[in-house]
Chain A
Amino acid sequence: MSIERKDEHDHEAWIQEKDLTAVESTFLTVLVWLDRRLRIVDYLELLETLYYRVNLQMPKSHTEQYNLDNKFWYWYPLYSLGFFSTLAYVVAAISGALLGFYYSPSAAAGAADIEGATVAYSTVAAIMTELNFGFFLRSLHRWAAQVMTAAVFLHMLRVYFTGAYKEPREVNWLVGIVLLSLTMVFGYTGYLLPWDQLAYWAGQIGVEMSLSIPFIGEWVAQLLFGGFSLGQATLQRMYLLHVFLLPFVVTTVIAIHLGLVWMQGIAEPH
């Protein structure tokens, strides 16, 4: 593959002869001007070609099976939300692993210079104020988490409104619902880790929500929060869920989710 210029479509002449309003032709002229200089579309087309070369998916999509040339829907922006979620997950995983070197999930009394602070809160404060690039690292982790939650939700909306959940992709829709739920559990457990007021009372809400479940409420509260009042056991469980259990589970489920997309192909809009 090379980036030699293809036979260029004469956009200017096309814009001239087409019956466009002044705003439309100005808009298109500006975008074509940018395209000529930045050439982003050319690089994206290379990626598209690469995707077809490495693509071994089993049932071809409708457009590929009948060799139709209307694959414009690959260029719909909202079709990139799933990839965007994955990207956010990778960024959160890497920044989270680095934060793990400096964070300690202990509810014991922490550094003396912060009144009433626990070790957990003090380590977060130290990351933010003393560690080189610590403020950046924690912000990156937090933003990646926020972006992932938002992108996963919007991805679900896109899949729903384009009918991508339909036969034969029902199983992947269900796997996606599991992933959406696990993403929120990931966010919740991470939210509790700084063990500040926000975290503590979010934990209190969690305990009370668990207790409100009929019949098994007390058992669930014990299991997830280590008791009915918040303490060291709660923080430790949230930490283990966040850095040990969920990473394995979510990474596996993401792999299954992407593997199914790989095999079934991206659903075309119905």
Chain B
Amino acid sequence: MADDSRERDVVVPERLYKTVTVFSTLFAVVAVVGGFVALDVATDTGSAAPEEVSVPMSLLGVALIAAGGVVYAFASRFRARGMATDKDSDDQSADNG
């Protein structure tokens, strides 16, 4: 993977990094689990006949799962000082401490 194609990195204070990692993970987990619950409700736990599947509810489920994934991925651009995105990147300063 070329370094140019790397996503944008935003270095944030450590306390803010904790906020980001805790709340984005929490939101992602709740959204994905909620999305699967919504899909279960829409399809009567997968046993509904095709014409009985609730389309809005299924779309809501898929949207929730996608939203959880997007939030988790988006949050990964924020990092604390001294944190490298991978071990080969040269922006890991020697004085990280």
Contact = CB atoms under 8 A, between A and B. Distances in A.
B24 interface: yes
B22 A14 contact: no
Interface in B1-48: 10, 12-26
A5 interface: no
A269 B70 CA distance: 24
A41 B74 contact: no
Contacts of B74: 23, 27
A122 B62 CA distance: 38
Interface residues of A, number: 30
B83 A72 contact: yes
B10 A40 contact: no
Nearest to B95: A68
B80 interface: yes
Given A9-B13, A14-B13, A63-B97, A31 B83 contact: no
A14 B15 CA distance: 12
B96 interface: yes
B22 A44 contact: yes
Interface residues of B, number: 28
Nearest to B18: A41
Interface in A59-99: 63, 66-70, 72-73, 75-77
A66 B80 CA distance: 19
Contact of B17 (A23, A27, A75): A75
A31 B72 CA distance: 13
A177 interface: no
Given A40-B26, A75-B22, A69 B16 contact: no
A66 B65 CA distance: 42
A34 interface: yes
A35 interface: yes
Contact of B97 (A9, A11, A69): A69
A112 B62 CA distance: 44
B16 A70 contact: no
Given A27-B74, A70-B83, A70-B96, A40 B22 contact: yes
Given A34-B23, A69-B97, A11 B16 contact: yes
B20 A72 contact: no
Contacts of A256: none
Interface string B74-85: 110111111100
